[in-house]
Structure 1
Amino acid sequence: MAPYIEKTPSYSDTSDVAVEKKTEVVVGEVPRIDDVEFIINRIKESDDLEDIFEEDAMFIVDKLRQMEQEEALEVLEHAQRYFDGDMNFPQATMTKIRLLLQGSEAYGIGAALYDLDVRLEASMIKYHSPYPEVRSVCSPIDDPTQQCETFRVYLIAGIWTAFAAFVNNMIYWRQPYFTLTSQVVQLLILPCGQAYSKIVPNWTIGFGRYKFQLNPGAWTFKEQMLSTIMANAGVSVCIFLYYMPTMRLSMFYGLSWMTYGFNLIFGFSCQFFGLSMAGILRRWVIYPVKAVWPTVLPTLQLNKTLLLPDKPRTINGWKMSKYKFFNVMLGISFVYFFFPDYIFTALSVFNWPTWIAPQNQNLAFVMGSKIGVGINPIASFDWSVINYSIPLTVPFYTVLNRYVGTVIGGIIILIMMYTNYLYSGYVPPNLATIYDRYGTTYNSTRVLTDGYFDLDKYKAYSPPYMTAGAIVLNGADYALTTFGFLYIMISEWSTIKEATVGFYRALRARKSSNFDDYEDPMSQMMRKYPEVPDWWYLLILLLSIALGLIAITCWDTQTPVWVFFAMMFVTIALVVPSMMMYAATGYMYTVYLLGTLLGGYWVPGSGIACIFTRSLGYGLDEQAQTYVGDQKMGHYAKIAPRAVFRAQFYATIVQTFVGFASWEMLEAGMPDLCSTTQPSRFVCTFAHTMYSQSLLLGVIGPKRTFDTLYPSLKYAFIIGAGLAPICFLLRKYFPKYFYYCQPVLILAGIARWGSSYNISYYTPGMIASFFFMYYIRSRYTMWWAKYNYILSSALTAGTAFCGILVFVALQYHAKTLTWWGNSVATAGVDGALVATVFDVPEVGYFGVANGTWS
């Protein structure tokens, strides 16, 4: 054969047009399809997976050798159509596909190597995954005989699910908060599983034909994954628990009738509601290939690192194994977190610009990390803050778009505050607190009689006034509700339509497999396992409804039954586009503010009913997201769907019981809980936000709020609906300029305001995302593929372990460390949280004139 010198496109380039480069290749014979070593090296080079398992590589080689060029070109043509406009699909790969479809001359290499690359690219798409990040954590091969659903899984995972639920439901109220993530719980489960397999005798236990082995052998990868799925339910905060402080504490509504028993009943209703919807949503957000779910990939990568072999190879000068790298970074993170969390807390919220002139109000408003908008280039050295944006997990364009929206929101707040728009200059710029016309915190008891709004008391007291940040939050969120729904329905209509037809068809033909409509390799591998019938999830939905009706009718929830059903229908209608957005980008917009608003219209004068309707909307979105993500993780790991169903149901029961018990313990044992000056920083940011919104939209009511105080907010819904088709057309017809612009994410960034969080909490994550998810990923792709998710897991795990230790030993019963490094961040105007641009006028009040509100 004739010698050749290879000339290939540069696929590390992220631009739309591949830049050709000459690569040095030893002159030799043109490679043949049966040259296995050459093909495997080609897979590693073109896929940037230097450490790909040889078994997986041989599987692709075998499929490649069976595929004809004509079939391969058909696969590539379909991929070009299907993934066009998909921001997660690598543009370098799309450029390569377009060149391959133009023929060997356009591709720029000889016919033999062109034929090989056509088959290789088509084989990776047809028999593996079109996304490199998915290929880096998943195998194209499945072993259905590997042990998965065993007794020891339920025993070990049940214990750690309870532990994670207890810790996270308690720590959530701290700012900045950290959590026991699924990656952390994985580390705790693994040694338990391995020790169990070596210590416990292999007895057979059972009754009649129902028997199981106590210890069936070595702890397997699938057992580890199923345990992780179970524990992930414990990692998430029980949705109704979000509202405990607002409902229970005397500084808010102080409802003494909300006992542990009531909380369990309504909590189970919310949890089961999310679980049932997760199963129904499978066709929309699990089975489609475009549903990447970037947030579950680190968990898969970590389990792969912990249980599967890792070959010692040098990548960009690094030879360290993934397992050793994880342990090293975990240790560093664990030791380091003592500093920002306890020893030198100013490193956490690093508001160093305000230290220059602590009493300068304008400096605090612009650059402060607590009261201001937080324009600060070096804002934190704390991973628990940096990780707010999940910067090493979600795509860079997600972090960038949301950050742009956050900056826009900050600029709007400054303009509003300094121009005193809607009286926002008389109150602090960015707190969730609602104020009265005297500039003090709004006292809801002065406008309530027997728990309901009293108009005479309201006239004698004051209208409620929001901060500029809260106004921006509400406006952006209202616009996001209509915009997000219409935009995703338009842009993803074909996927939504196909899934809806498939759901209807499955209800009629109950014996058919849900995977019949999907030709991707993951779905094809899953066809060997019995699917969970849709009626199983419908039964869970009925159970959820029954529990919810018991709760709202047997206790004084002030919520009519028809409101319960109305809110269910609203959230079900909106959850599909919301979940599709989350599956693609790692961000989920919720309908919680819409639930608050509707509650205010449906039950006028009741802040309590307002919170219950909100909990239904938020519970569906948030809880369904957790369950669907875990089901996608099971899909990637090839775990039997029915095993996932049973595991999630079991974990939900454990998590709910333990979660509400943790709140009872926290409320009883934490002094000054939820006050803004709580010494251990259990300030309950969300509780204050919820209370403010329930006052505005529940007690005072949306009609008074919109017509008298903030009339511009009601137009946000119309603006959002009008912008949706415009933004879709801009991205469709001007992709060169708007391809990576995701308007839903930008609006979501604007809606980050309205609490004590600001730009300074997201700038560090933006920097980290740019460095790892853009620069490292494009320049050192093989290093990124091997180490990135491991680094994210290690930093998160080390921070969580250290945070728990500090909390238990030093903060639950506060042992303060007093010195400059722990007091400087709160010493000036930024830490006082009371400064305003304008003083209250000499007449003693601000806002609308006396007697003009009603």
Structure 2
Amino acid sequence: MDYEKKEYPSVSVKNIDYDEEGFISKSKVDVNVSTAQRIDDRDIIISRIKESDDLEDILDDDADFIIDKLSGMEHEEAIEVLTYATSYFKGDMNFPLKTMEKIHSLLQGPEAYGLSYELYDLDLRLEASLIKYHSPYPEVRSVCSPIDDPTMQCETFRVYLIAGIWTAFAAFVNNMMYWRQPHFTLSSQVIQLLIHPCGQAYSKIMPNWRIGFGRFKFQLNPGPWTFKEQMLATIIANAGVSVATFIYYMPTMRMQMFYGETWMTYGFNTVMSLSCQLFGLGMAGVLRRWVIYPVKAVWPTILPTLQLNRTLLLPEKGQNINGWTISKYKLFNISLAVSFVYFFLPDYLFTALSTFNWPSWIAPNNNNVAMVMGSKAGVGVNPIATFDWSVINYSYPLIVPFYTILNRYAGTVIGAVIIIIMVYTNYHYTGYFPPNVATIYDRYGSTYNTSRVLTNGYFDVEKYRAYSPPFLSAGNLVLNGSEYALVTFGFLYVVIGEWSTIKEALIGFYKGLKERNSSNFESYRDPVSEMMKKYPEVPDWWFLVILVLSFVFGIIAVKCWDTQLPIGIFFAVMAITIALIFPSMILYAATGYMYTVYLLATLLGGYWVPGSGLACIFTRSFGYGMDEQGETYVGDQKMAHYAKIPPRAVFRGQIVATILQVLVSNASWEMLTNGFPDLCSLTQASKFTCPFAHTLYSQSLILGVVGPTRTFNTLYPVLKWAFLMGVGMVIPCLLLRRFFPKYLHYCQPVLILAGVGRYGSGYNLTYYTPGVFASMAFMYYIRRRYATWWAKYNYILSSGLTAGTAFSGILIFVALQYHPKSLSWWGNNVSSSNVDGENTATAFELPTTGWFGPANGTWM
């Protein structure tokens, strides 16, 4: 576009010094700017924005606000903002490289920038305005408004009523459906769709009576259903979307095919669940300064929920976006309807479309094909692995950043290579088992019979010597080794790399406890924190009280039931979890991936109570449950931060939701165990095969019953070295990232290492290859080529497809699978009628002696 040529007073940015990584040092920037004519014409600014591929996404809703702020920004202020940005966002993988390069160019002055002063000054102030008054991240700009209306009603009676109903419903359904493979859940997007019409109907039907007395008096129907009410209701109901984490461990402990501890009744489960859930809520408050308030804590996993709520309740401007004029609401409805109808094919009518292991159809009895390309027994090297959105969406390819998907996939490929090498070299006898199963085997090639090595629930050395040591499949061995290395590597790599952020937050937390009247937001200069200052904050000590209650419930559970746990181990697990959860959450907030810290807790149980598989599971449940629930509550609080929801309303809502979720989740588990006598069987007719329960059983057998001492010293000594290997990789990776920042900008070794362990529990490349293709299309190509289309439609498309699949899955289950109505034909049988589907593919036949491994009695 041609602009009128004018002469403008000169501008110079003197004495710019760069550090060794090429970033500008803020302290050495000397700005000398003379007064110049500014561009205040809105049409010219809009035209300039349209020319910039990395800025045109702001045209959708908030252009007027940004233009107003741009017009009032002084040149010196813009220089200061951008200089700070080069330091603060240095090394941030979510900060667009193209934007950072542009900022560097702007800070070198108009001559280096290559445009007239008029355009240079406009671009300078535009970039600075986005950072100071909105967000530097396109994905955040697409879902988060830079303005707030503090008068909008939020915490009302109808919010708690509607959210409470759907919290209970989601908790019931998700705790039931988790045990299916593939499982589906009522996601946040689905819950929003259920809440929205209820809120709208309530506002139109219910009378506006005043109920209650005194300070507890409220309006029954205060008017139209608002965006903030919708958001708060969604945040409350999200507690039901997540599985009550102690439920993860119930099948392994209670089912007869595993440990058969039938004394674990509803009361015990409730107390344990409250301990885990309240710990997560308490830690969420403690973690606020690390993963909620900082701008770099993007939280990609919550962005679709925000986008959908905006679509449902906020007005939308009609625009032509890359030839598309369809509204976000209409696109959502279309994608939901299409996925709802289509899911009947892969889930019921033609299930081979879901498990599309076509190489094994061609060679059904070929063990080599099944082990390399198989979707069940093998590692899943298959470029066309599925036509099922529930499988494609397993790694959230339209939500998490492309570099997250690619890094983890690289690790998954490395894991596949390692597994294949192990199998064909028969490393530690792994050639006698299918490569990718969670089953623990004995030396006769059969499933390990735990009862043969137990006496009164504890390990019996003589029985063990007479029977067999336990053996792991190659996938299971890789899973354990990578997780052990990840514990040490992930902790050290994140703590060292993000030490400045961690240190600053620690100082702020201490100051908040010491000076109760100080603001939690005083150290944060971003626009959201500035807007949140107007709302009463939740003091840190409120969350510390929740943590104390968590301790109380945990002690009651340990002391009043036969958990086989000494009380000291409970406190030790708590301490470990608190120490390790910080780097885990920092990584999750940036990448959408959270590495868990339960392994140290699991090992602690094995060492502290030798011979007890239950003790091992209990310590793991405390470690993982507290970690996972912390992620859930922190994510919801970040969502409230983006949506400008009053913090105390969120605190009250999460407490109510937690109690309701625990009560309903445990009720759903009781119904599940009573309604399915063959629950967790690999041949269960309704697909309730409980893959995690089998993985947990194998790990508790190795680290609990047999014990970590025998496992690490005799059976698999390589595993104990995994911890040290994790430590040894930290310094080389940090040095490589320091000296080659440009080439390794999007390389995240924690994610790569995490990808290596994506085996041993029924999942393999089949579940991740399709996601890479989808992410490459939407999160890489479309995001860069059609930025405005991506900002407007990407999250909505993901939400629609996921919601339609979930609704369809629920209908199919209730109508056709709860009481199975079989549909037997080639398209439903072909995936399982081969050595891959039957999990029988092995590289070697059993020796003629009928057994393998060390000689009798030598495995002690």
- Mapped pair 1:193 → 2:199: yes
- Mapped pair 1:729 → 2:735: yes
Q: Which residue does 2:306 correspond to in 1?
A: 300
Q: Which residue does 1:12 correspond to in 2?
A: none
Q: Which residue does 1:380 correspond to in 2?
A: 386
- Mapped pair 1:275 → 2:281: yes
The residue type equivalent to 1:373 in the other structure is: V
* CA shift digits 1:666-688 (9 cap, x unpaired): 11112411011112111100000
Partner Cα separation in structure 1 for residue 49 and residue 147 of structure 2: 16
Q: For residue 514 of structure 1, give the secondary structure of its aligned residue in structure 2.
A: coil
- Mapped pair 1:369 → 2:375: yes
* CA shift digits 1:770-789 (9 cap, x unpaired): 01000111111111111100
Q: Which residue does 1:148 correspond to in 2?
A: 154
Q: CA deviation at 1:167?
A: 0.5
Q: Which residue does 1:333 correspond to in 2?
A: 339
Q: For residue 95 of structure 2, give the secondary structure of its aligned residue in structure 1.
A: coil
> 1:129/1:657 Cα in 2 relative to 1: closer, same or farther (>3 Å)?
same
The residue type equivalent to 2:369 in the other structure is: L
Do the aligned residues in 1 keep the contact of 2:53 with 2:787 (CA within 8 Å)?
A: no
Do the aligned residues in 1 keep the contact of 2:60 with 2:317 (CA within 8 Å)?
A: no
Q: Which residue does 1:10 correspond to in 2?
A: none
Partner Cα separation in structure 2 for residue 499 and residue 800 of structure 1: 39
- Mapped pair 1:560 → 2:561: no
Q: CA deviation at 1:43?
A: 4.0
Partner Cα separation in structure 2 for residue 630 and residue 705 of structure 1: 40
Q: Which residue does 2:481 correspond to in 1?
A: 475
Q: Which residue does 1:831 correspond to in 2?
A: 837
**TM-score of the superposed pair, with normalisation by structure 1:** 0.96
Q: Which residue does 1:20 correspond to in 2?
A: none
Do the aligned residues in 1 keep the contact of 2:171 with 2:661 (CA within 8 Å)?
A: yes
Q: CA deviation at 1:99?
A: 0.8
Q: CA deviation at 1:52?
A: 4.6
Equivalent residues in 2 for 1:272-671, closer than 5 Å: 272-671=278-677
Partner residue of 1:180 out of 182, 186, 197: 186
Do the aligned residues in 2 keep the contact of 1:706 with 1:714 (CA within 8 Å)?
A: yes
Do the aligned residues in 1 keep the contact of 2:370 with 2:841 (CA within 8 Å)?
A: no
Partner Cα separation in structure 1 for residue 381 and residue 475 of structure 2: 14
The residue type equivalent to 1:118 in the other structure is: L
Equivalent residues in 2 for 1:117-156, closer than 5 Å: 117-156=123-162
Q: For residue 705 of structure 1, give the secondary structure of its aligned residue in structure 2.
A: helix
* CA shift digits 1:679-708 (9 cap, x unpaired): 211110000000000000000000001111
* CA shift digits 1:310-329 (9 cap, x unpaired): 22211111111111111011
Partner Cα separation in structure 1 for residue 741 and residue 522 of structure 2: 34
Q: CA deviation at 1:838?
A: 1.2
Q: Which residue does 1:700 correspond to in 2?
A: 706
Partner residue of 1:69 out of 72, 75, 78: 75
Do the aligned residues in 2 keep the contact of 1:274 with 1:622 (CA within 8 Å)?
A: yes
Partner Cα separation in structure 2 for residue 55 and residue 743 of structure 1: 37
Do the aligned residues in 2 keep the contact of 1:474 with 1:593 (CA within 8 Å)?
A: no
The residue type equivalent to 2:827 in the other structure is: G
* CA shift digits 1:772-820 (9 cap, x unpaired): 0001111111111111000000000000000000011111111111110
Q: CA deviation at 1:31?
A: 9.3
Q: For residue 832 of structure 1, give the secondary structure of its aligned residue in structure 2.
A: coil
Partner Cα separation in structure 1 for residue 773 and residue 594 of structure 2: 22
Q: For residue 831 of structure 1, give the secondary structure of its aligned residue in structure 2.
A: coil
Q: CA deviation at 1:430?
A: 0.9
The residue type equivalent to 1:801 in the other structure is: F
The residue type equivalent to 1:68 in the other structure is: E
- Mapped pair 1:842 → 2:848: yes
Partner Cα separation in structure 1 for residue 244 and residue 786 of structure 2: 40
The residue type equivalent to 2:382 in the other structure is: N
- Mapped pair 1:805 → 2:805: no
Do the aligned residues in 1 keep the contact of 2:61 with 2:317 (CA within 8 Å)?
A: no
Q: CA deviation at 1:208?
A: 2.2
Partner Cα separation in structure 1 for residue 202 and residue 57 of structure 2: 30
Partner Cα separation in structure 1 for residue 838 and residue 230 of structure 2: 48
The residue type equivalent to 2:401 in the other structure is: P
The residue type equivalent to 2:65 in the other structure is: F
> 1:467/1:114 Cα in 2 relative to 1: closer, same or farther (>3 Å)?
same
Q: For residue 228 of structure 1, give the secondary structure of its aligned residue in structure 2.
A: helix
The residue type equivalent to 1:202 in the other structure is: N
Do the aligned residues in 2 keep the contact of 1:426 with 1:836 (CA within 8 Å)?
A: yes
Do the aligned residues in 1 keep the contact of 2:57 with 2:787 (CA within 8 Å)?
A: no
> 1:222/1:53 Cα in 2 relative to 1: closer, same or farther (>3 Å)?
farther
Q: Which residue does 2:9 correspond to in 1?
A: none
Q: Which residue does 1:116 correspond to in 2?
A: 122
> 1:66/1:307 Cα in 2 relative to 1: closer, same or farther (>3 Å)?
same
* CA shift digits 1:10-45 (9 cap, x unpaired): xxxxxx99xxxxxxxxxxxx9953212322443455
Query: Once superposed, what is the RMSD of the aligned Cα atoms?
Result: 1.5
Q: Which residue does 1:222 correspond to in 2?
A: 228
* CA shift digits 1:593-619 (9 cap, x unpaired): 222222111111110010010011101
Q: CA deviation at 1:454?
A: 0.7
- Mapped pair 1:680 → 2:686: yes
The residue type equivalent to 1:741 in the other structure is: C
Q: Which residue does 2:12 correspond to in 1?
A: none
Do the aligned residues in 2 keep the contact of 1:606 with 1:699 (CA within 8 Å)?
A: yes
Partner Cα separation in structure 2 for residue 757 and residue 490 of structure 1: 32
Partner Cα separation in structure 1 for residue 830 and residue 488 of structure 2: 43
Q: For residue 808 of structure 1, give the secondary structure of its aligned residue in structure 2.
A: helix
Q: Which residue does 1:763 correspond to in 2?
A: 769
Q: Which residue does 2:785 correspond to in 1?
A: 779
Do the aligned residues in 2 keep the contact of 1:279 with 1:537 (CA within 8 Å)?
A: yes
Q: For residue 505 of structure 1, give the secondary structure of its aligned residue in structure 2.
A: helix
Do the aligned residues in 2 keep the contact of 1:44 with 1:52 (CA within 8 Å)?
A: no
Partner residue of 1:243 out of 243, 249, 252: 249
Q: For residue 211 of structure 2, give the secondary structure of its aligned residue in structure 1.
A: strand
Q: For residue 743 of structure 2, give the secondary structure of its aligned residue in structure 1.
A: helix
Partner Cα separation in structure 1 for residue 778 and residue 70 of structure 2: 32
* CA shift digits 1:223-250 (9 cap, x unpaired): 0000110111100000000001101100
**TM-score of the superposed pair, with normalisation by structure 2:** 0.95
Q: CA deviation at 1:47?
A: 6.7
Q: For residue 744 of structure 1, give the secondary structure of its aligned residue in structure 2.
A: helix
Do the aligned residues in 2 keep the contact of 1:590 with 1:621 (CA within 8 Å)?
A: yes
Partner Cα separation in structure 1 for residue 299 and residue 457 of structure 2: 43
Q: After alignment, is 46-55 or 457-466 more displaced?
A: 46-55
Aligned residues: 832
The residue type equivalent to 1:517 in the other structure is: S
Q: For residue 217 of structure 2, give the secondary structure of its aligned residue in structure 1.
A: strand
Partner Cα separation in structure 2 for residue 45 and residue 283 of structure 1: 37
Q: For residue 246 of structure 2, give the secondary structure of its aligned residue in structure 1.
A: helix
Do the aligned residues in 2 keep the contact of 1:276 with 1:540 (CA within 8 Å)?
A: yes
Unaligned runs of 5+ in 2: 7-20, 23-35
Do the aligned residues in 1 keep the contact of 2:159 with 2:233 (CA within 8 Å)?
A: yes
The residue type equivalent to 1:360 in the other structure is: N
Partner Cα separation in structure 1 for residue 268 and residue 710 of structure 2: 32
Q: For residue 357 of structure 2, give the secondary structure of its aligned residue in structure 1.
A: coil
Q: Which aligned segments of 4 or more residues in structure 1 are displaced greater than 4 angstroms? A: 47-55
Partner Cα separation in structure 2 for residue 483 and residue 147 of structure 1: 46
Partner Cα separation in structure 2 for residue 607 and residue 411 of structure 1: 32
